[in-house]
Structures are given as structure tokens and as C-alpha cells.
Amino acid sequence: MQAKIEYLRKMNGLIRPIQSRSGMVINSPFKYLASKKKLMIVGYNPGGVPDANETTIVEDWMRHTSDENFNALTESWGQHQALIAGSHPIQKFYQAIIDSTDLTEEDILYTNMYWQRSKSIADLTIDPILEKQCKEGFLLNLIIHQPESICFLGHQTYDQIVKDWSKVSFPCGAIDYPWGETQSIKLYRMKFQDFRIKAFSVPHPSRFGIGNDPDRLDAILQALDRSRS
């Protein structure tokens, strides 16, 4: 319990300088924070959502702390299927992993590289304050949650992190099928400060969703298995 209190205190301090910006911090239920994870899923940044859900960073943080069972990965995001809860491609990706492996909600930490919301990656302005606070938050999550592996949503997320935040990254394979000639799952060995971890990046679910394609899901599960072994 003390470890969780200290973790939340540190995260509160990181959020404070950017708390009034539109965004989301951690989507997973807060009741599972500050415990070891088997998988950390990292997106680039929160995307556009209806005005009713467009929380500021501090509002998002408070809705989780006021209800530690709340899971943003099961709410309604965007215009997907008339706002049916859990129908966004990223949410389907998350649920498919839970349904197809031994992983549970408690085993997964979902966050974003940058906590500030934008309609697209190109629309996000990464100023020094956002960069500093989010980098410190990312590294804190690694230290506290000690995940077995990281899944980056979209290769651009990995590219940005390896460019500025990680000490070392080595490619260690790819799974080419079934995304076509220009898309694949890529696997890595990475080091952040003194923390070593296996990781993989997938074609972004918002563009290359799993849908009802068993081959795509199988490729993702292969990557997950290789990153945990």
C-alpha cells in the first residue's frame, strides 16, 4: 500500500504542470497500479473523442482515483459504432489479448507516450514541459511496474521513444504476415536507464485493426509470446 501511495504522489507531481491540457494518463484500472505487470501497452497519445469525454489530464486522473475500478478501455471512445463501449480498435486489441492469453486486467498497464490529446499525431505540439513530464512518467512506470514486455501501438511510437528516451535498442526479428509488404510486427531488446526489457511494435490498430482476421491476431500473439520468453 505504501508503494502505491508514493507512486501516486510522484505521478501527481508530474501531472501538475500540464494538468489543464486535454488528455489522458493511464487507462487501466487504478486498483492494479504499483504491482508488477506482465505487459505494458504504450500508445503515442490520446486521440480525439466526443466533447463529453474530452477530459483534461487532471480530470482524467481524478475520475480514476475516485473510482479505482474504472477502466477507460471499456468506455465509449470516438465515433466507433455509435459510441458503443469498448468498440474502438485499440480497445478491441486490448480485449483480444485478454481473451486469447492468460493475461488479465491486473497484468496489463496501458498508457501513452504523451498524455496530451490531439486529433492526430501530426497535430500534437511536443513542447519541453510535455516532453519532460511524460518522459519521467514513462520511466517511473517502468521502474514501479517492472513489466515483462512492452507493446508499442504504431511503429512511430517506438521510433520516438528509441530516439529520445531509451539508452539502447536492438532489433531482434519481425513478423511480416499478414499486414502486407510495408507493414510488420517488429521485435526489440531495449534498455532504459538500468532496466532491460523485450518489446515489440505493431501496425497501429486504428489503421490496421484486428477485426475478424485470425491471422493478424495470431501474429500479435506470437510477438507477445516471444517478448515474454
Residue-wise DSSP of the chain = -HHHHHHHHHHHHHHGGGTTSBB-SB-S-GGGTTS--SEEEEESS-----GGG--BHHHHHHHHHH-TT--GGGS--TTGGGG-TT-SHHHHHHHHHHHHSS--GGGEEEEESS-B--SSGGG----HHHHHHHHHHHHHHHHHH--SEEEEESHHHHHHHHHHT-SEEEEEEEE-TTS-TT--EEEEEEEETTEEEEEEEE--TTTS--TT-HHHHHHHHHHHHHHH-
**Which pLDDT score is estimated for 204?**
87
For residue 194, the domain's CATH number is 3.40.470.10
Full residue range of the structural domain in which residue 16 is found: 2-228
Taking the model in full, what pTM does it have? 0.93
The count of domains in the chain is 1
**Which pLDDT score is estimated for 89?**
87
**Which pLDDT score is estimated for 183?**
84
**Which pLDDT score is estimated for 76?**
76
pLDDT tens series, the chain, 229 aa: 889 999 999 999 999 999 999 999 999 999 999 999 999 999 999 986 555 567 899 999 999 999 999 999 988 776 654 456 767 888 999 999 999 999 999 999 999 999 999 988 899 999 999 999 999 999 999 999 999 999 999 999 999 999 889 989 999 999 986 767 778 999 999 999 889 999 999 998 877 777 678 888 999 999 999 999 8
